[in-house]
A and B are shown apart, each in its own frame.
Chain A
């Protein structure tokens, strides 16, 4: 079946622009995570949704970062007034029902470059 998809795969933005990154989780998956991966580093947690509820946003680096999942399926990560330090790969992951050992399935990521 279809896996997690993300769009766009690549995004170039000028400093100060707003961007929106989309995640389509696996159909029926309840949990959705966003991670940020800087070059040469492991992914770092940004935020977590269970259905439409954002239960953890402790990893969002600033108030310029905002995520939503209004209908409990597709999610959008928005970054306002992008800065060069926002350049990274943004990964989305989903899992089925949110049991403790549910596997997180990752999308291919969106590579954001801020000039």
Chain B
């Protein structure tokens, strides 16, 4: 079973920041938080991951609370092409560890 809880859907106006929350209250100390997204009819796409520090890359920022029980993915300036299902995943530290997807958050960006 997925170790994360996400809202089923969210809306965001184009050009505004999209903040996608995720709860992972049972996360272990050596587990990472990963975010993937899946645009319609495509395979999942890696966005970002983190352990306990906040992370930023060219796609997004990841804010992890100090107790690590929740996190927020931030898309700073959402575009229509960011419309997708976003998955928050807790993953262990072994290379054999598969990704356990939940049902994700369907983000709709509107003009």
A-side interface residues toward B, CB under 8 Å? 4, 31, 33, 35, 40-45, 48, 50, 55-56, 59, 91, 93, 95, 97-109
> A100 CB to closest chain B CB, in angstroms?
4
- A42 contacts which of B32, B87, B96 (Cβ < 8 Å)? B87
Report B35-86 residues with CB < 8 Å from chain A CB: 41-46, 49, 85
User: Majority SS of interface residues in chain A?
Assistant: loop
Task: Say yes or no: A42 contacts B93, CB within 8 Å.
Answer: no
B-side interface residues toward A, CB under 8 Å? 2, 32, 41-46, 49, 85, 87, 92-104
Which residues of A have CB within 8 Å of B2? 42
Which residues of B have CB within 8 Å of A40? 103
Task: Say yes or no: A101 contacts B49, CB within 8 Å.
Answer: yes
Task: Say yes or no: A43 contacts B93, CB within 8 Å.
Answer: no
Task: Say yes or no: B45 contacts A99, CB within 8 Å.
Answer: no
Question: Closest 3 CB pairs between A and B?
Answer: A42-B101, A106-B43, A98-B95
Which residues of B have CB within 8 Å of A100? 32, 92-95, 97
What is the bound-complex CA distance between A33 and B97, given in angstroms? 10
Which residues of A have CB within 8 Å of B97? 100
Task: Say yes or no: B43 contacts A4, CB within 8 Å.
Answer: yes
Closest to A107 in B: B43
What is the bound-complex CA distance between A98 and B46, given in angstroms? 16
